[in-house]
Amino acid sequence: MCLAVPGKVTEIKGKTAIVEIMGVLREASLELLEDVKVGDYVILHAGCAIEKLDEAEALKTIELFKELKDIYHE
């Protein structure tokens, strides 16, 4: 029920953006978010950006996943 993908905002016109996912372009509503800028990454679901992707957190998460593997299930 949550099929959504991270995409890059390439253009903004009012409350609508063009989001790009691996070369694929789709118009998306930005009405559920504030302060979205071109270049931001958003989570795209059913033609609407439902959240911004926090790129710093994304990097931290990968590092965390790498570390956790050494801690869990010893």
Partner 1 sequence: MNNYLDPYRDTGLLHLWAERLQKYQGKPLKLMEVCGTHTMAIARYGIRTLLPERIRLVSGPGCPVCVTPSYYINSAVALARRPETIVATFGDLMRIPGDEGSLLEAKSLGADIRVLYSPLDALKIARDNPERQVVLLSVGFETTTPIFALAIDKASQEGLNNFTVLSANKTMPEVLKVLAGDPTVGIDGYLYPGHVSAIIGTRFYEELAEKYGVPGVVAGFEPLDILTAVAALSEICNEGRHTVRNLYTRVVKPEGNPRAVQAMERVFEPADAVWRGIGRISGSGLAIREEYARYDAWKVFDLQIGEYSEPEGCRCGEILKGTKSPGDCPLFGTRCVPENPVGACMVSSEGTCAAHYKYGGIR
Partner 2 sequence: MTERITLAHGSGGKLTHQLIGRIFYPHFANDILQTGDDAAKLPVPAGTLAYTTDSFVITPLFFKGGDIGKLSVCGTVNDLATSGARPLALSCGFIIEEGFEISRLERIVSSMAETARSCGVRIVTGDTKVVPKGAADQLFINTSGIGIIPDGCHISASRAKPGDVVIVTGMIGDHGAAILLEREELHIAADIASDCAPLHYLVARVLADVPDIHVLRDPTRGGLASTLHEIALQSDTGILIWEKDIPVRPEVQGICELLGMDPLYLANEGKMVMVVPQENAGKVMEILQSDPLGKDSRIIGQVIREPAKRVLLETVTGAKRIVEMMTGDQLPRIC
Min separation Cβ 20 and partner 1, Å = 10
HSE on the CB side for 58, CA within 13 Å? 8
Task: Give the containing element (helix H, strand E) for 35.
Answer: none
Residue 13 binds partner 1, judged by CB under 8 A? no
Q: In the stretch 33-72, what mask flags binding to partner 1 with x, by CB under 8 A?
A: xx------x-x-xxxx-xx-xxx-xx-xxx-xxx-xx--x
**Quick one: 3 or 35, whose CB is closer to partner 2?**
3
- Non-local (6+) Cβ contacts of 55 within 8 A are 41
